[in-house]
Amino acid sequence: MGSLELTQGVVNAILLSGTLALVAIGFSIVWGILNIINIAHGAFIMLGAYVTYWLFTLFGIDPFLSIPLSMITLFIVGYVIQRYLINLVIRAPLLVTFLLTFALEIVIINLATFFWKGDLRSVTPAYSGAGFTIGAVQIPYVRLGAFAISLLLTGLLHVFLTYTKTGNAIRATGMDIDAARLQGVKIAQSYALTFALGSALAGAAGSLISISFPIDPTMGGAYTLRAFLICVLGGLGSIPGVMLGALLYAFIEVFSGIYAPGLKDAIALFVLVFVLIVRPTGIAGKAFYH
């Protein structure tokens, strides 16, 4: 194996881990606080990608600048879905919410295909593909930008959950719903806010993905699975855990991609099962959000 492959692989993995952390973090807070496996998470990512695509194509808005708009859109979508749909069955058994979000995914993808067709689309700003080199290692600006924004948003989320009243209410709901209610937290609203936050982060991830990868209505499924894996690898319930999981996953994916491209997912999946068996709460597992 050449040293170029190795160093380029390390750089790729680190850059990828940023986007993947953002993909997984929204999934993680919904899972950790609402105890919902949101199968539709990938569909929200897809919607975020399309917001960026349309703003770029119709109005020429720079894809990085459209991230806030994509987040606001998905925040509203997420809020409405949780408040008026998922909240109705939130205390039902695990299977019910699982199938409900699965059905949501079907509906969203089908409607997206219906209105936007199955076409593959790409966001191609002038600087796409541009980058700089250090030695022989290539660093594309777009991926570096995506990495930085992912870190920024993850940091902001941490600040929000730790230092704001609403953030504390959300975390309290995740820890002990009855105690939170006694403290005056409006549970239904707090749940809706959490889900909306998760969706908004999915939207941001979608925007970033649309700059580096072609998009289509069915793109989300692969990201839902990755979000799953990252949460479990890193352990549910902490932001650093998700980031660690994303980094680990990115390395597995990139390097199995270099040496056994066809078995990329299989390797990641078997590592996951192994980790689960050895440490059922993940590598850095803790309960809830601290």
Partner 1 sequence: MKKSGELQNSPQAASKKVARQKVLLGLVGAFVVLLAVLPLFASGFWMRTLTLLFLLAAMAEGWNFIGGYTGYAAFGNVAFFGIGAYGTALSMLRLHFPFFLALLVGAAAAMLFAVLVGLPVLRLKGHYFAIATVALATGVGEVADFWTDFTGGAAGLTLPFFHPIQLSNYFFYYIAFVLVLFGLGLTYFIMKRKLGYSWLAIREDEDAAKMMGINTTWSKVVAFALSALMAGLAGGIYAYWNTFVLAEEVFKIEYTLQMILATVLGGPGTVFGPFIGAFIYYILITLLVFFLPVGQLHATILGLIIILVMVFTPQGVMDFLSGRKRLTLSALLENIRTHKV
Partner 2 sequence: MKRSFQILLAMLMIAAVVLAACGKSGGEKQAAGGGQQGGEKCVITFGAAVSLTGKYAKEGEYVKNGYNLYVEQINKQGGIKVGNKTCEVALKIYDDESNADRSAQLVEKLITEDHVQFLLGPYGSGNTYATTAIAEKYQVPMVEANGAATKIFKRGFKYSFAVLTPAPYYLRGIIDMALDADPNIKTVAIVAENGAFALEVAQGAKDYAEEKGLQVVYFDKYTKNTKDVSSLITAIKAKKPDILLGAGHLQDTLLIVKQAKDLNVSPKVFGFSVGPTAPEFRKALGKDADYIVGGAQWTPELKIQSDDVFGTPQKFAELYEAKYGEVPPYQAAESAAALIAYQKAIEAAGSLDKDKVRDALASLDYMSFYGRLKFNEQGMNVYKPMAVMQNYPDGKLYTVWPKEAATKPFIYPFKPWDQR
Residue 4 interacts with, from partner 2, partner 1, none (CB under 5-8 Å by kind):
partner 2
- Residues that bind partner 2 (rule: CB under 8 A) add up to a total of 44
In this chain, which stretch among 30-38, 117-125, 176-184, 230-238 interacts with partner 2, using CB under 8 A? 117-125
Decide whether 57 or 281 has the Cβ nearer to partner 2: 57
Residue 142 interacts with, from partner 2, partner 1, none (CB under 5-8 Å by kind):
partner 2
Decide whether 33 or 211 has the Cβ nearer to partner 2: 211
In this chain, which stretch among 59-67, 100-108, 127-135, 237-245 interacts with partner 2, using CB under 8 A? 127-135
In this chain, which stretch among 4-12, 87-95, 153-161, 272-280 interacts with partner 2, using CB under 8 A? 4-12
Residue 121 interacts with, from partner 2, partner 1, none (CB under 5-8 Å by kind):
partner 2
Q: Which of 237, 242, 238, 233 is nearest to 205 (CA)?
A: 242
Structure tokens at 24: 């997984």
Q: If you write DSSP's letter for every residue of 262-276 in order, what string do you get?
A: GGHHHHHHHHHHHHH
Residue 158 interacts with, from partner 1, partner 2, none (CB under 5-8 Å by kind):
none
Burial class (CB in 10 A: 0-12, 13-18, 19+), 202: buried
Compute the distance between CA of residue 168 and CA of residue 178 in angstroms, rounded to an integer. Answer: 15
Q: If you write DSSP's letter for every residue of 110-162 in order, what string do you get?
A: HHHHHHH-S--B----TTTT-EEEETTEEEEHHHHHHHHHHHHHHHHHHHHHH
Residue 219 interacts with, from partner 2, partner 1, none (CB under 5-8 Å by kind):
partner 2
Q: How far is the CB of 103 from partner 2 (least distance, A)?
A: 16
CA angle 61, 66, 71 (to 5 degrees): 160
Compute the distance between CA of residue 90 and CA of residue 74 in angstroms, rounded to an integer. Answer: 20
In this chain, which stretch among 31-39, 84-92, 112-120, 174-182 interacts with partner 2, using CB under 8 A? 112-120
Sole binder of partner 2 in the list 27, 147, 195, 223 (CB under 8 A):
223
Which is it for the CA torsion 244, 247, 250, 254, positive or negative? negative
Q: How far is CA 123 from CA 60, 63, 69, 208, 263, in A?
A: 10, 8, 16, 10, 29
Burial class (CB in 10 A: 0-12, 13-18, 19+), 88: exposed
Instruction: Please report where in the chains the tokens 């002038």 appear, as a residue.
Output: 126
41 binds partner 2 (CB under 8 A): no
Decide whether 47 or 86 has the Cβ nearer to partner 2: 47
Residue 272 interacts with, from partner 2, partner 1, none (CB under 5-8 Å by kind):
partner 1
Sole binder of partner 2 in the list 81, 253, 282, 285 (CB under 8 A):
253
Q: How far is the CB of 89 from partner 2 (least distance, A)?
A: 24
Q: How far is the CB of 112 from partner 2 (least distance, A)?
A: 11
Amino acid at 36: I
Interaction site with partner 2 (CB under 8 A): 2, 4-5, 8-9, 12, 16, 110, 113-114, 117-122, 124, 128-129, 131, 133, 138, 140, 142-143, 212-214, 216, 218-219, 222-223, 253-258, 261-265
